Amino acid sequence: MRTALAFLAVGSRLLAGGCGDRLFDNPLDPDADRRAYEIVATLQTEIVPLDLTFSGSSLWAVDALSRVVALNHNSGALIRELAVPQPPAGIAYDGEDLWLSLRDQPQLLQVSLVNGTAIRVLNLPRGRFGPLDYAGGRLYVADRLSNSILVVDPASGVVERSITQPGFAIDGLCFDGASLWTLDGAQMKLFRLGLDGSLDMQYETPSRSASGLACAGGVLWCGDATGKIFRLRFP
């Protein structure tokens, strides 16, 4: 009985709300301290984010209506909507322009950050694309068809390799410079992967309907179907 009460007490402390919470995927896991992360901030937005990227001044999102919008990264307030030529499924920032994966077709589109004008189209052989990221001169593209991450040369459109990942689906994807991160919303899991797809760590998502990831400044941005965007810091 004492053991059960002690477990309930520990569980209640772990589940207590707050922007500085530390979350665990299993409070009884001996590695729980290493698996913890902190919710630094929670933004409430007017959109349902499906994918995220950070341009250095704004948090950009593709939302459930296939709009491309810029958000204030401190408040979540809508700054502006960018008119783009075709409905997108994912978004990435390359340091100058935006890249979009296009809904229901194996294409990647580079567009102007200023006015959304198409700059270049990459036609890939096959795939059904979702979230994506840009890092180290390469595009990392979530392919829902193969449930893998495609590494694409943005200059040529060549798929250099494919990386398997442990989730059943890829609802968010980003590369922090050392590790790949993927999100499986149905499993409520965040996965940190090596560049070969090996699983380094897994975490519970900060909500039950997480979607969309971005890495910037040592933190991870994670979207949610309720319109929230969580800013997470990992040890």
State the CATH number of the domain containing residue 74: 2.120.10.30
The b-or-e profile of 221-235 (16+ CB within 10 A means b, else e) is bbbbbebbbbbbebe
Within-domain flag for 15: no
Structure-token match 């590494």, residue found: 151
Selection from 33, 94, 98 nearest residue 68 by Cα: 98
The count of domains in the chain is 1
Within-domain flag for 8: no
Give me the domain span that covers residue 99: 20-233
Residue 108 near residue 139 (C-beta atoms within 8 A):
yes
Within-domain flag for 196: yes
**Alpha helices per DSSP H over the chain:** 2-15, 32-35
Within-domain flag for 4: no
Residue 121 near residue 88 (C-beta atoms within 8 A):
no
Within-domain flag for 138: yes
The pLDDT assigned to 104 comes to: 87
Within-domain flag for 51: yes
The pLDDT assigned to 63 comes to: 97
Predicted confidence pLDDT, tens digits, the chain (235 residues): 433 333 333 333 333 333 444 444 454 454 444 458 999 999 999 999 999 999 999 999 999 999 999 999 999 999 999 999 999 999 999 999 999 999 989 999 999 999 999 999 999 999 999 999 999 999 999 999 999 999 999 999 999 999 999 999 999 999 999 999 999 999 999 999 999 999 999 999 999 999 999 998 889 999 999 999 999 999 8
Within-domain flag for 200: yes
The pLDDT assigned to 35 comes to: 58
- Indicate the SS3 state at residue 31: coil
User: pTM of the entire structure?
Assistant: 0.85
Within-domain flag for 3: no
Euclidean distance between CA atoms 35 and 91, whole angstroms: 28
